[in-house]
Structure 1
């Protein structure tokens, strides 16, 4: 009898969660809507409880293997460091983490590699929480900033780093331009992002358009770029030395989606900690995570890696505009 009762409660909860999911999309409107969404996710603590200090996917190896959910997230950071060649850089290297969340990656870059790391996010609550989580003596600091209009001067950082921030950017060209602008000549840009298939080659079919619409609307995403498209946008900044290097880490990160759902099952203490409202809020995210698994598993979405070196003779757009004004 108890089993039937439990299944009934679960079914009702699922129905409620799906209804809330459909009735309360978090459609992108302005960067402020992104900030509000992350403020809410940070303030209630549910996302941190289940995902830890890394609000990004994990790396499960190639080929993927069973791994602890939180360990895989930390491993992702180390794998990205190696892929970008950053493990060869000296201590004291100045790094900008664009879209730092609550600072998990920024702290690893500071603690494990000795980098002087600055994390920026558009969410004031994330900055507050990232600062709270950072121990004294760790060379990581955080501030509110807009990735499309960075407050730093040209040529400020040896490395610019970003994980899964691109889908929130309404202007991908400006996103690429600003990251390359604040990078020092000879410095390295390393980006990891959710991407969609290049629809210039294979257009999205009817069901893919429906899935993609939900992936955009539910998590405040204006659009996904393709790996090919964003690499072209980085190159088109005119600030790149040589080619933009790309890689596809879809298979390495794919287990993260169902593992995220599984965390809610194997860690029922979250229901006690956050109560019924927290349970419903968590349940609301399940359809999106399942759709993400469908998208990345079917080839509709891809997990892209990007690496570029700034040309030593590069002149940024802001520098060029300033020079034009002076010449006039």
Structure 2
């Protein structure tokens, strides 16, 4: 028995060292849209991400001020909080919604089930589309397809609402991402986006320790760059398709517990080790340094969780200026 107590910490230390080696030796840098698709195909096929993070591959909302909450429940609550913040809760059943970067469809299903919306979810990962279709009951008005957020296949003015959660960091061209989402909105339609952002380095440049941390956050999860909240709001406005102002909010405090909660899932649910074996354990373990760095970055103000709401103008802003038309100003509460 005493030998067991000696061996077990040694095995744990060995596993940690192997996970750290995998983390350092095999980064997953952004190379192209294919590298993002392949990463998500891989995670979807092995089932590890779905097992620990559930159907919602995004952070949770823990209230304001934050309070203890079940990890998976916080993720569902995030969807409802985003609906309310975006003023979508009073829209009628049948409202058409495009979910950009839908993952395996968790948010799309809530929007269809609880609000009666007709949802089209798009992702660059074929395996995510397949899994989303498997998880969606036939009576839900939610469908899924492979599409590129930087070149959406839908005509101008196709949707009443465009919705996106944490897809922006994967986009190499943030301005094009903004243009495409605004383009497919109907006049008067609403864009609601939730995203990981970095501090606006035009106001306060990254310092000596923030630069390597940001580099790791980008390189480990196939992110070309993070936008700032201020910068992406400007890019939305620059499309010339926004009526009034872009509303923003910072939900860093409300989502911050998610990072440590996500690590705790591996401890609280040891059955994952049985299901996925040593390979799955090591694959999960290699994510821990990035999750910890995310917690440090968001906690220290290097990163921020940004919310964006914009309304599609009936006429492009440039044309309104020439013709003398004006657009009704739009203001949203930030909490």
User: Which TM-score band (shorter chain)?
Assistant: over 0.9
Aligned mates of 2:204, 2:210 — CA distance in 1: 11
Aligned mates of 1:66, 1:117 — CA distance in 2: 31
- Deviation for aligned residue 1:315: 8.2
Aligned mates of 1:236, 1:230 — CA distance in 2: 10
Please, which of 137, 160, 177 is the counterpart of residue 179 of structure 2? 177
**1:267 corresponds to which residue?**
269
**1:75 corresponds to which residue?**
77
**1:253 corresponds to which residue?**
255
Aligned mates of 1:3, 1:105 — CA distance in 2: 44
**1:320 corresponds to which residue?**
none
**2:226 corresponds to which residue?**
224
**1:92 corresponds to which residue?**
94
Aligned mates of 1:34, 1:222 — CA distance in 2: 10
- Deviation for aligned residue 1:111: 0.3
The answer to whether the Cα contact below 8 Å between 1:121 and 1:144 also exists between their aligned partners in 2 is yes
The answer to whether the Cα contact below 8 Å between 1:216 and 1:222 also exists between their aligned partners in 2 is yes
The 5 Å alignment of 1:11-22 reads: 11-22=13-24
The 5 Å alignment of 1:281-292 reads: 281-292=283-294
The answer to whether the Cα contact below 8 Å between 2:273 and 2:280 also exists between their aligned partners in 1 is yes
**1:111 corresponds to which residue?**
113
User: Are residues 245 and 315 of structure 1, via their aligned partners in 2, closer, same or farther at CA, if it must alter by over 3 Å?
Assistant: closer
Aligned mates of 2:196, 2:91 — CA distance in 1: 27
- Deviation for aligned residue 1:147: 0.1
Q: List per-residue Cα deviations over 1:190-235 (Å, max 9, x = no partner).
A: 0000000000000001110000000000000000000000000000
**1:324 corresponds to which residue?**
none
Q: List per-residue Cα deviations over 1:239-272 (Å, max 9, x = no partner).
A: 0000000000000000000000000011110000
Aligned mates of 1:181, 1:107 — CA distance in 2: 24
The 5 Å alignment of 1:48-59 reads: 48-59=50-61
The answer to whether the Cα contact below 8 Å between 1:158 and 1:183 also exists between their aligned partners in 2 is yes
Between the two proteins, the alignment pairs up a number of residues equal to 317
Aligned mates of 1:269, 1:6 — CA distance in 2: 18
The 5 Å alignment of 1:31-50 reads: 31-50=33-52
Gaps of 5+ in 2: 319-335
Q: What secondary structure does 1:56 align onto? A: coil
Q: What secondary structure does 1:154 align onto? A: coil
Aligned mates of 1:296, 1:101 — CA distance in 2: 23
**1:236 corresponds to which residue?**
238
Aligned-residue CA RMSD (Å): 1.1
- Given the two structures, how large is their TM-score scaled by the length of structure 1? 0.95
- Deviation for aligned residue 1:4: 2.9
Aligned mates of 1:6, 1:223 — CA distance in 2: 40
The answer to whether the Cα contact below 8 Å between 1:195 and 1:226 also exists between their aligned partners in 2 is yes
1:130 aligned to 2:132? yes
Gaps of 5+ in 1: 317-328
The answer to whether the Cα contact below 8 Å between 2:242 and 2:317 also exists between their aligned partners in 1 is no
Aligned mates of 2:51, 2:6 — CA distance in 1: 29
Segment of structure 1 superposing worse, 306-315 or 71-80: 306-315
